[in-house]
Amino acid sequence: MIKILDLYSGNPRDFTEALNGTFSGVIFKAGQGDWLDVPSIKPDWWQIAGDKGLLRGWYWVCDSRYRSSKHVDKIKQWRDENNLDLNAELGLWSDVEYPYMSMTTAEYWKTPYAGHKNVVDFHYLLETNGINAGLYSADGVYNEIMKGASVADHDYLAKFRMWPANYPYIYIPGVSKPRMFGRWATWTIWQYHGNPDYSEFNGTEEQFYELFGGGAVPPVAPPPPGETMIVKANYNISIHPDHSVDGYIETFAKNSQAEVSELWETGVTVGSDYEQWAHIPSGWVAVWYRNQGAGGRLCNLTGTLPPLVDGLPVIHIHQLYSASGYPDLIIDEDWTPNA
């Protein structure tokens, strides 16, 4: 499961947690109305998160005490002054809820720009300025704010990515699903836990990096014959202490390269369980990972494995399958090619 954490400048403990290797992305509060939050109060967080290999994004509270154009003018100013691409990585998300947590529904409707028109106009103005913001909300507050909106208004918002907030009593990864609202047919990320605010991505690791990380990079040019095998990361991926997703050492950043001393793979060449791992000086990285078939590539390999002391490289095979997908031989030992 791909986990994402969102936070504002008053969450230093949550920010520390975001760096612990559990999360693949972090979404910072950019601001609301006409004031900035993390970019002004914690300006170093963006770089620190990027150095840890996290994909990063921003959210902006669509505060009903401010006209939509006021929000957008501030976002444009902040974008231009800092030369930020708000469509890069996790992008920008509009936070559609009441301006502050303790605000009642009655108090909300007394604010000058309450209701759906300010929300729709906010997204429209962002779009006309080249910013395709996703939308974060919960079903109850969304239905209240959008009360009286036309089908066309709902359809317009539904063309942007959906980030619903819904905290089930029992959360089971891969099984539990958020409640849908508006006219969305699917969701992109789902905030399933509050304080800290945990979200999951609706897809695989490869799909996450394909959507938000710029996709796969071209394979590195093959080295001259006989050169040591090199692994190059197509995405920001984790380095593990063993050929397993358990544990975390550090991030193997996108486009990073390292020498490979040995390979480990399941040998399942047909089906969804195939894994291939490369041993590098700092640990193990997944080259191919299960459940993706031919699309499960996380890294590229070039060159040849270096020989061990006895003169032959080692590939650790867990299982060998025939081309039909049925097991011909089950082994659990080292295999030396051409031995």
Which residues, in sequence order, are bridge partners of residue 269? none
Task: Provide the CATH number for the domain around residue 183.
Answer: 3.20.20.80
Question: Is residue 305 in some structural domain?
Answer: yes
Predicted TM-score (pTM) of the model is 0.65
- In percent, how much of the chain has pLDDT > 70? 82
Residues 97 and 25 in one domain: yes
Residues 182 and 237 in one domain: no
For residue 324, the model assigns a pLDDT of 46
Question: Is residue 266 in some structural domain?
Answer: yes
Question: Is residue 98 in some structural domain?
Answer: yes
187: containing domain:
3-203
Among 203, 238, 268, the domain boundary falls at 203
Residues 130 and 241 in one domain: no
Residues 31 and 172 in one domain: yes
pLDDT band at 303 (very low <50, low <70, confident <90, very high): confident
Average pLDDT over residues 245-258: 87
Residues 107 and 189 in one domain: yes
Backbone φ, ψ for residue 297 (5° rounding):
-75, 125
98 vs 211: which has the higher pLDDT: 98
CA nearest to 309, candidates 241, 276, 263, 262: 262
Residues 144 and 192 in one domain: yes
pLDDT band at 326 (very low <50, low <70, confident <90, very high): very low
Average pLDDT over residues 324-336: 44
Question: Is residue 292 in some structural domain?
Answer: yes
Number of separate domains in the chain: 2
Question: Is residue 213 in some structural domain?
Answer: no
Residues 295 and 186 in one domain: no
pLDDT band at 37 (very low <50, low <70, confident <90, very high): very high
Residues 249 and 187 in one domain: no
Among 185, 203, 221, the domain boundary falls at 203
Q: CA 192 to CA 167: how far, in whole Å?
A: 5
In the three-class reduction of DSSP (H, G, I as helix; E, B as strand; rest coil), residue 124 is classed as helix
pLDDT band at 271 (very low <50, low <70, confident <90, very high): low
Question: Is residue 225 in some structural domain?
Answer: no
Average pLDDT over residues 164-171: 90
Most confident of 58-72, 220-234, 244-258, 301-315: 58-72
Question: 221, 232 in Cβ contact below 8 A?
Answer: no
pLDDT band at 255 (very low <50, low <70, confident <90, very high): confident
Residues 172 and 293 in one domain: no
Q: Give, as one character, the DSSP assignment of residue 297.
A: B
In the three-class reduction of DSSP (H, G, I as helix; E, B as strand; rest coil), residue 229 is classed as coil
Q: CA 220 to CA 254: how far, in whole Å?
A: 12
Residues 162 and 15 in one domain: yes
Question: Is residue 223 in some structural domain?
Answer: no
Name the one residue in this structure whose structure tokens are 């317009």. 156
Residue 312 has pLDDT above 60, yes or no: no
Amino acid letter, 339 = A
Angle at 265 between CA 260 and CA 270, to 5 degrees: 135
Q: CB under 8 Å, gap of 24 or more: what pairs does 303-306 form?
A: 303/222, 303/223, 303/227, 303/228, 303/229, 303/230, 303/260, 304/225, 304/226, 304/227, 304/228, 304/229, 305/229, 305/260, 305/261, 305/262, 305/263, 306/228, 306/229, 306/259, 306/261
pLDDT band at 218 (very low <50, low <70, confident <90, very high): very low
Residues 88 and 128 in one domain: yes
Question: Is residue 184 in some structural domain?
Answer: yes
Burial class (CB in 10 A: 0-12, 13-18, 19+), 304: middle
Question: 168, 193 in Cβ contact below 8 A?
Answer: no
Instruction: Tell me whether strands 25-32 and 35-36 are parallel, antiparallel or unpaired.
Output: antiparallel
Residues 150 and 266 in one domain: no
